[in-house]
Amino acid sequence: MRVLNFPALGLKWGLCLWVLMGATSAGAQTEFQNCLAGLRGPAKAAGVQEASFGRFTQGLSPDMGILDKMNNQPEFRMPIWDYMAALVDEERVAEGLAQLTKHRELLDKVAVQYGVDPATVVAVWGVESNFGQTFGKYPLTQALGTLSCFGHRQNYFRGEFFATLRILQAGHIAPERLVGSWAGAFGHTQFMPTTFERLAQDFDGDGRRDLMDSVPDALASTAHFLSKAGWNAAQVWGFEVKLPTGLDVAGEGRKNKRPLSDWAARGLTRVDGSALPALGGSAGLMTPSGAKGPAFLVFRNFEAIYSYNAAESYGLAIAHLSDRLRGAGPFATPWPTDDAGLSRAERREIQTLLSGRGHDIGEIDGMLGDKSRIAIKAEQTRLGHEVNGRAGQKLLRALR
C-alpha cells in the first residue's frame, strides 16, 4: 500500500484511512494550506505573480481521492485486444470520418503549416478526448495542487501546478473551464500544462491558446506536437506484416530498426503476402501479442505518436485509427484469443444486461469501471466462467 509514502509529512494511519476513504480531514486541509503557503515563494520564482497565486488558489481544498487514483495499481491488466476493441471501434471510425469532413478546410491548413496529415491529427483527437467529448472532470488547480502537496511525486507535480497557474495568469483559458484528468492532462489534446506551454498553438488568431474551447487551436497543437516529435510527412507510421513461419521475434521491437531490405531478406511480406514496399528509412518489428498475433513494421513516425503517450498499445490505437480513417479495414491477423474484446457499443450492451440482472453498475457509459467489474465477477461465478472481472465476447453471448 503506497499510501504510506508520505514520510515527509508525518502522516499517521488515521489520516491514511481518511485518504483511502477519499475524504478530506481537517488535518489534511491544514497540511494543504501550510503547503500552499510554502509554495508561494517557489511559484513566484517560477513566474507566478503573488496576486495570481492568491487569486487562483483562493478557497482551494485538496481532493484526497486523487491520491487513491495515483496509488492504486489497477488489479486488472487489460489485454491489448480489449484496449484496441474499445479505442478503434466502428463508432469512433464513423465519428472520425465525420470530423474529417466537418473540419476539412482547417485540417488542410494545419497539414500545410505543420506537415501532419488530417487522418493522423483526427486519430489523436479521437483517442485523446473522443473528439473533444471527454476532457476529464477534475478542476486542474485542485488536482495538481493536491498532488503538489501529497503523494510521492510532489516535485514533478509542482512543475505542472506552476505551469497551470501561469496558463491562467496569461488568460489563455478561464479558471472555471480548466478541468482535466486527475493527473492534469486537459482539453481536446489532453496536454499536460508544461506541454501546453511548450507546444500549444493559437491557430484561430484570437491571441489565446485555448485547448478547451477552440478546435483550431487544439488540432494545430496536436500537429505541432507531432511535428516537434519528428513527424515526417513523406513517411508512413508503419503497416501490418506477415511473418515467415518460425521467425524468432525475441529481441525484436519498435526500437530495433532495420532497412526494409533486411526484413524482406528474413522472409517478411506485407500482410496480403505481397513483397514489402521499397520504402526508405528503417523499421522495427512490433508484435504486441507475440508472433502468433498481428505483427507490424513501424517507422520513425510511430515514435512521434508514441511520444504523445509512452505506451505501444496507445501508439498502435492511434496509428490504426488513422489507417481506418484513410479507408483501410481492421487488422488482417486476428488477436491470439478465443474471447475477443468488446466495442464501446458492446460494453454498453453488457452494462445494460448486467443492470437488467439487478446489478448496480452505475452509469451505462461503455466504460467498465469498478462497479461493472464486481457485477461481471458475480455473473462469471454464476455461469461457471473463469472469474476475472474481464468482459469479452463470451460473457456477452452468455448474457444475451
Residues of this chain that bind Ca ion (CB under 5 A):
202, 204, 206, 208, 210, 214, 217
266 contact partners, CB below 8 Å, separation of at least 6: 244, 247
Residue 173 vs 276, nearer CB to Ca ion: 173
Residue 202 vs 349, nearer CB to Ca ion: 202
DSSP codes, 246-315: T---TT--TTS-EEHHHHHHTT-EETTSPPPP--SSEEEEE-TT-TTS-EEEE-HHHHHHHTTSS-HHHH
Q: How far is CA 103 from the centre of its chain?
A: 23
Residue 216 vs 294, nearer CB to Ca ion: 216
Specify which residues 295 forms β-bridges with: 241
Amino acid (one-letter) located at 37: A
d(CA 180, CA 284) in angstroms, rounded, equals: 34
- CA torsion sign, 41 to 45 to 49 to 55? negative
Residue 221 vs 287, nearer CB to Ca ion: 221
d(CA 313, CA 79) in angstroms, rounded, equals: 10
d(CA 174, CA 278) in angstroms, rounded, equals: 50
CB of 360 to Ca ion, least distance (A): 43
Would you tell me how many other CB atoms lie within 10 Å of the CB of residue 313? 17
CB of 230 to Ca ion, least distance (A): 25
CB of 201 to Ca ion, least distance (A): 8
Residue 171 vs 259, nearer CB to Ca ion: 171
DSSP state of 180: E
CB of 285 to Ca ion, least distance (A): 41
17 contact partners, CB below 8 Å, separation of at least 6: none
Number of residue whose CB is nearest Ca ion: 202
Structural contact between residues 44 and 50, judged by C-beta atoms closer than 8 angstroms: yes
CB of 204 to Ca ion, least distance (A): 4
CB of 202 to Ca ion, least distance (A): 4
Residue 187 vs 315, nearer CB to Ca ion: 187
CB of 254 to Ca ion, least distance (A): 35
CB of 210 to Ca ion, least distance (A): 5
Residue 205 vs 280, nearer CB to Ca ion: 205
Structural contact between residues 124 and 99, judged by C-beta atoms closer than 8 angstroms: no
Residue 90 vs 206, nearer CB to Ca ion: 206
